[in-house]
């Protein structure tokens, strides 16, 4: 499992692409455009972090509810009157084994429940936060039409440079992962 599976842990594409993006930000954008992009990036990471924290909290709450419900069901099962023998039509009687200790909730089961529910909450909350953060970031960028046009032009130029670098790498036949550029 990659760390990119969780929205809160995602990092940049790499140092060479980061430097190329910084170069385009310096030359193709105005200061207000750079501030708009920084604000949008901040919104995205903030929403992802908040979503992750809320998801973990909801996962722990759900695990607590499941654990308490399971404990209540076990206590009800333990208190209920259970048959101890079964008698067959031929008159033969067999003892029914006591399974109550096997159904008792364990600490390992509790830890596992809390872990997996928290992990699921982290994933769902983080992805929901990243989705809502990208919507908020998009609204931030598209608020000013002129700034949006400059940002889109700069992004097209950046993408063209990335594609040129990938083509050069392919033509050289260099080893390594070409798709990661």
Query: Tell me, what's the pLDDT at 13?
Result: 60
Q: How confident is the model at residue 29 (pLDDT cuts 50, 70, 90)?
A: confident
* Residue-averaged pLDDT of the chain: 86
Query: Tell me, what's the pLDDT at 103?
Result: 86
- Judge whether 147 and 141 are in contact, CB under 8 Å: yes
User: How far is 157 from 27, CA to CA, in rounded Å?
Assistant: 11
Quick one: the chain helix, strand, coil %, rounded to 5? 75, 5, 20
User: How far is 5 from 16, CA to CA, in rounded Å?
Assistant: 23
User: How far is 45 from 127, CA to CA, in rounded Å?
Assistant: 11
- How far from 121 is each of 51, 52, 84, 154, CA to CA, in Å? 9, 7, 43, 37
Gyration radius of the chain over CA positions: 29
pLDDT single digits (tens) 103-161: 899 999 999 999 999 999 999 999 999 999 999 999 999 999 998 998 899 889 889 98
Query: Tell me, what's the pLDDT at 34?
Result: 87
| Burial class for 165, CB neighbours closer than 10 Å (0-12, 13-18, 19+) | middle
């Amino acid at each position: 499992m990659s760390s990119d599976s969780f929205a809160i842990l995602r990092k940049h594409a790499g140092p060479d692409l980061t430097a190329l993006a910084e170069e385009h930000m310096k030359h193709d954008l105005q200061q207000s455009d750079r501030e708009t992009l920084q604000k949008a990036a901040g919104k995205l990471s903030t929403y992802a972090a908040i979503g992750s924290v809320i998801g973990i909290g909801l996962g722990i709450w759900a695990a607590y509810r499941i654990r308490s419900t399971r404990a209540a069901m076990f206590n009800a099962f333990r208190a209920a009157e259970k048959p101890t023998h079964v008698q067959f039509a031929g008159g033969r009687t067999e003892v029914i084994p006591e399974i109550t200790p096997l159904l008792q909730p364990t600490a390992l089961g509790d830890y596992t429940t809390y872990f997996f529910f928290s992990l699921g909450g982290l994933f769902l909350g983080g992805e929901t936060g990243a989705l809502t953060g990208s919507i908020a970031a998009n609204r931030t960028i598209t608020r000013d039409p002129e700034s949006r046009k400059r940002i889109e032009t700069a992004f097209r130029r950046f993408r063209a440079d990335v594609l040129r670098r990938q083509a050069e790498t392919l033509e050289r036949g260099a080893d390594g992962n070409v798709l990661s550029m």
